[in-house]
Homo-oligomer: A and B are copies of this chain.
Amino acid sequence: MSDGMERYTEEDLQRVGMELLTACGAPEEEAELVVHHLVEASLMGIDSHGVVRYVMYVEECLQERLRPGAPVTIERETPSLIVVDGGNNFGQVGAYRMAKEVERKVADTGIAFAVSRRCHHVGRLGAYPQKLAEAGLFAFAVANSHAAGHFVVPWGGREGRLATNPLAWAAPTSGHPVLLDMSTSMMPEGKVRTALHAGTQVQTGAIIDAHGEPTTDPASFYGPPRGAILPFGGDLGFRGFGLGLLVEVLGSTIAGEELTESFRYVNGLGLLAIDAAGLCGDKARFSDLVDDLASYVTDTPPAPGHDEVIMPGEREFRLLHERRQTGIPLADESVRQIIDVGERVGVRVELSPQA
Q: Which of B81, B159, B178 contacts A279 (CB 8 A)?
A: B81
The answer to whether the Cβ of A5 comes within 8 Å of any Cβ in the partner chain is no
Q: Which chain B positions have C-beta within 8 A of A226?
A: none
Residues of B within 8 A of A171 (CB): 249, 253
Residue in B234, B272, B280 whose beta carbon sits within 8 Å of that of A234 in the complex: B234
- CB neighbours of A281 from chain B (8 A): 76, 256
Q: Oligomeric state, in number of copies?
A: 2
A46 within 8 A of B: no
The reply to whether A276 and B254 contact each other, CB–CB distance below 8 Å, is yes
- Summarize A's interface: helix, strand, loop or mixed: mixed
A109 at the interface (CB under 8 A from B): yes
Instruction: Report whether B158 and A245 are in contact in the complex, using a CB–CB cutoff of 8 Å.
Output: no
Chain-B contact segment, one of A50-58, A284-292, A323-331, A343-351: A284-292
| Whole-angstrom distance between the Cβ of A74 and the nearest chain B Cβ | 12
Of residues A79, A248, A256, which shows the largest number of chain B Cβ atoms within 10 Å of its Cβ?
A: A256
* Complex: chain B residue closest to A236, CB-CB: B232
What are the interface flags for A296-311 relative to B under an 8 Å C-beta threshold, 1 for contact and 0 otherwise? 1111111110101111
The answer to whether the Cβ of A180 comes within 8 Å of any Cβ in the partner chain is yes
Pairwise interchain contact A180-B300, C-beta atoms closer than 8 A = no
Task: Say if the beta carbon of A264 comes within 8 Å of chain B.
Answer: no
Whether A303 contacts B156 by the Cβ 8 Å rule is: yes
List A residues 127-164 near B (Cβ within 8 Å). Answer: 138, 140, 153-162
Q: Does A99 contact B (CB under 8 A)?
A: no
Q: A113, A138, A276, A300: which has the most chain B beta carbons within 10 Å?
A: A300
A258: CB under 8 A from chain B? yes
Q: Which residues of B contact A155 (CB under 8 A)?
A: 309
B-side contacts of A154, CB under 8 Å: 297-298, 300, 309
Listed residue (A232, A233, A290, A303) with the most chain B CB atoms within 10 angstroms of its CB:
A303
The answer to whether A138 and B278 have CB atoms under 8 Å apart is: no
A8 beta carbon closer than 8 Å to chain B: no
Pairwise interchain contact B157-A306, C-beta atoms closer than 8 A: yes
Q: Is A246 part of the binding interface, using a Cβ–Cβ cutoff of 8 Å?
A: yes
Shortest distance from the beta carbon of A172 to any chain B beta carbon, whole Å: 10
Residues of chain B lying within 8 A (CB to CB) of residue A286? 253-254, 256
The answer on a CB contact under 8 Å between A312 and B242 is yes
Contact B289 A80 (CB under 8 A): no
A256-B289, A312-B242 given; A249·B138 CB < 8 A: yes
| Max chain B Cβ within 10 angstroms of own Cβ: one of A83, A234, A246, A257 | A246
Per the bound structure, the CA–CA distance linking A80 and B274 in Å amounts to 10
Contact stretch, chosen from A10-18, A36-44, A59-67, A208-216? A208-216
Closest 3 CB pairs of A and B: A256-B280, A212-B303, A180-B242
Q: Can you list 11 A-B contacts (CB < 8 A)? A: A78-B110, A111-B113, A153-B300, A157-B303, A169-B249, A203-B235, A211-B304, A213-B304, A232-B236, A257-B289, A259-B292
